[in-house]
Amino acid sequence: MTKPRRARTHDPERARSRDLEAELMAVYRDVEAAYSGYSCPGSTECCRFGITGREPYVTSIELLVMRRAIARRGGQLPEKRRALPMVPRERDDERTCSMLDYTGRCSIYDARPLGCRTFWCHRADTGPTAVERDVLGAFVRRIQELAVRHEHDGERGRPLTRALVD
């Protein structure tokens, strides 16, 4: 005899969070479309904050999506699996993002934050049409609006490396 199914309890907070995540992914899709003409040699240097001298800032809702992706793949990468060395490993000032996997790819690519999607180094080819600053600004504002709805002060971006350890 089959057991009767337990009725699902409706969790409004969870549903709200899911809706915001879906809205964020819609913004990301628009970002991808805007930058679809861009390409780069994929050196992964942009994921080594000691080389670029900068790192992405993440809002609360972006961080939530990243954390879910990290959890799905079983946690952060162990130190020894991080990244292909671009400079000798004895130099530990690369500050390689812990999401960069040992093949040199972002292990949470679909969930990477806006800063990762819109940072292009000098070697990138922008194609025939570069994305204007106001277009980028509009993406930033859309995500900040979602982050405010997600969490008090959620729109205040925090450096990725600090946000992930908090």
Residues that bind ligand SF4 (CB under 6 A): 47, 56, 97, 99-100, 106, 112, 116
Nearer to ligand SF4 by Cβ, of 4 and 53: the residue is 53
Shortest spacing between CB 7 and ligand SF4, in angstroms:
39
Shortest spacing between CB 93 and ligand SF4, in angstroms:
16
Nearer to ligand SF4 by Cβ, of 101 and 155: the residue is 101
Nearer to ligand SF4 by Cβ, of 34 and 63: the residue is 63
Cα 166 from Cα 3, distance rounded (Å): 42
User: What backbone torsions phi and psi does residue 39 show, to the nearest 5 degrees?
Assistant: -150, 160
Residues 6+ apart with CB under 8 A from 137: none
Tokens 């040199």 correspond to what residue?
A: 104
Is 34:127 a contact under the CB 8 Å cutoff? no
Shortest spacing between CB 79 and ligand SF4, in angstroms:
15
Shortest spacing between CB 110 and ligand SF4, in angstroms:
10
* Other Cβ atoms closer than 10 A to 119: 14
How many residues in total does the chain contain? 166
DSSP category for residue 87: S
* Other Cβ atoms closer than 10 A to 132: 10
Shortest spacing between CB 54 and ligand SF4, in angstroms:
10
Nearer to ligand SF4 by Cβ, of 113 and 154: the residue is 113
Nearer to ligand SF4 by Cβ, of 104 and 149: the residue is 104
